[in-house]
Amino acid sequence: MQHQTVLSSKSEAELDGANVHLRSHTGEELRMRELRTGDDWTAIGIRHDLPDDLGRVWRTECVLKRGAAEGGQDLVRLRTQCIATTPGARLDTPRKPYLIKALLKNGWGARDHPFNVTDQPLWIENNDTGLALAKSVVLGEAAKWLPTVYVSATGVSSWFISQQEIEKLAYDLGGVAHVVVEPDRAFSFHLRDKTDGRNAYGGTVGLSVPGQGIVRQYYLGWQIADGKELAAAIVAAAVTLRSQMPAFGWDWTELQEQALRVQREREKDSLTEAEWNQLHQEQVDNLQDKVRELEQQLDATPAVSIGTDEAEFSTANLVHRIGPEVYRGEISDRLRFAAKTTLSPADQIGLDPRSKAILQRVVDRLPASPALEELSQDLNRATKDPKRVASELTTLLARHGYSEKSDNKHVRLEAKKGVQGLDSITLPKTPSENRGLKNLRKQIERTLGITKLGD
């Protein structure tokens, strides 16, 4: 590091040991600890503290544990922190350690089930193998160690994020999350059937957690205006998610605890009283470090505040407050439609210039959600075959706010609990002609209230 002061020619001799602690005149510290069991080492780690002139310490911890991953793979766990040492110090989020980039660049990324841990995106091919992989990502069955970012397609080899931005996204998330990219929309339709509609589609980007599947989805709307912002939001979300997932490796305090325990057992008959006291003090210091870390995690948890956080206007909060969406992005589309409708008679109703300016920006900045076009296309496909129209529409509408109530001569669908403003839909089992299918589709679109939303 350019500004490090802890390493010098005088410190070389001190580095040759199982327990190293170096400190420079600037307060910079480097600790190294090796854990040996038998004739070989089991784990080795470092903790580096670099103070700055703004009352902060930038801490980097790295522990390598042998055989901790599947197949006997060694596991490296890194953690970075920005710690306040003076009241009021502004804390920043540390960047991903360069060491991770260096490890991946040298091909030391291991295997995470079907994935190589790398900083390159995986471009899925449109075949059975690719479909099986995508399904396992959507359902949370693909990876174990890292989350997966799933980039869905808007067309053939087209996405809301450019290819260059996707490659940068994978580079930024190297060692933090896998990035897989869908080939085209036709692939998305097949995947939807395989996953009961749980997949991200139409350009939406999904964040999949091992054992859970896709838990968050990101798309263009009022909070995210373009592909660049979309990629930045995904990086922030993936980093946060990975930090909250269970850690299978050791952190620095765990390594300290294990090393001190082994040392105590190995040397219990040969230590002097002074050495016992020193060993005990090291254990106390390590426990205090652990307590401080837990306190910092509690302090970093944001307090709940109503009406004071921009996140209150997030899609998740609106859905929570207003109710479930018929399709992803519905609330955004209806707000856009309401703004556009209000602007039309703005002069006649005496709307003030500020309100007109705000509503116009809502119309300009909020594109129609990709899920709206997807729903329209699904309705079109579901009303092609008279013999299958009832079953196809029942399955489709079950994903969009409806449940089946009766099945006699007709299929009656009613809105699910919590979905307000939707009339019931009656589906004939045998529509008379193609014209009847077209009219049925238009009737459903009017009932769903989506006819004018995409204008």
The pLDDT, as a whole number, for residue 18 is: 74
| Mean pLDDT estimate for the chain | 84
Structural contact between residues 41 and 246, judged by C-beta atoms closer than 8 angstroms: no
Burial of 39 (0-12, 13-18, 19+ CB in 10 A): exposed
The pLDDT, as a whole number, for residue 307 is: 36
pLDDT exceeds 80 at position 278: no
User: Kind of pairing, strands 148-151 and 178-181?
Assistant: parallel
Helix (H) or strand (E) holding 181: strand 178-181
User: Kind of pairing, strands 213-218 and 205-209?
Assistant: antiparallel
Using CA atoms, how far residue 39 sits from 14, 35, 46, 64, 275, in Å, is: 22, 11, 21, 17, 23
The pLDDT-based confidence of 151 (bands split at 50, 70, 90) is: very high
Q: Which of 402, 431, 427, 395 is nearest to 417 (CA)?
A: 402
The pLDDT, as a whole number, for residue 208 is: 95
Cross-strand partners of 234? none
Return the sign of the alpha-carbon dihedral for residues 101, 102, 104, 108.
negative
The label of the residue with tokens 């979300």 reads 237
Return the sign of the alpha-carbon dihedral for residues 208, 368, 425, 443.
negative
Helix (H) or strand (E) holding 4: none
Cross-strand partners of 58? 50, 82
Judged by average pLDDT, the poorest of 12-21, 28-37, 94-103, 445-454 is 12-21
Using CA atoms, how far residue 294 sits from 192, 287, 289, 299, in Å, is: 42, 11, 9, 9
Percent of the chain with pLDDT over 70: 84
pLDDT exceeds 60 at position 312: no
Can you tell me the distance from the alpha carbon of 270 to that of 201, in angstroms, rounded to the nearest whole number?
66
The label of the residue with tokens 């199982």 reads 18
Can you tell me the distance from the alpha carbon of 379 to that of 376, in angstroms, rounded to the nearest whole number?
5
The pLDDT-based confidence of 305 (bands split at 50, 70, 90) is: very low
Burial of 161 (0-12, 13-18, 19+ CB in 10 A): buried
Q: Which of 85, 82, 143 is nearest to 113 (CA)?
A: 143
For the residues 40-55, what does the mean pLDDT come to? 91
pTM: 0.72
pLDDT exceeds 50 at position 78: yes
37, HSE (Cβ side, Cα atoms, 13 Å): 10
Cross-strand partners of 20? 32
Number of residues assigned to the chain:
455
- Residue 363 backbone class (left: φ over 0; alpha: ψ -120 to 50; beta: rest): alpha
The label of the residue with tokens 């953690």 reads 79
Can you tell me the distance from the alpha carbon of 298 to that of 293, in angstroms, rounded to the nearest whole number?
9
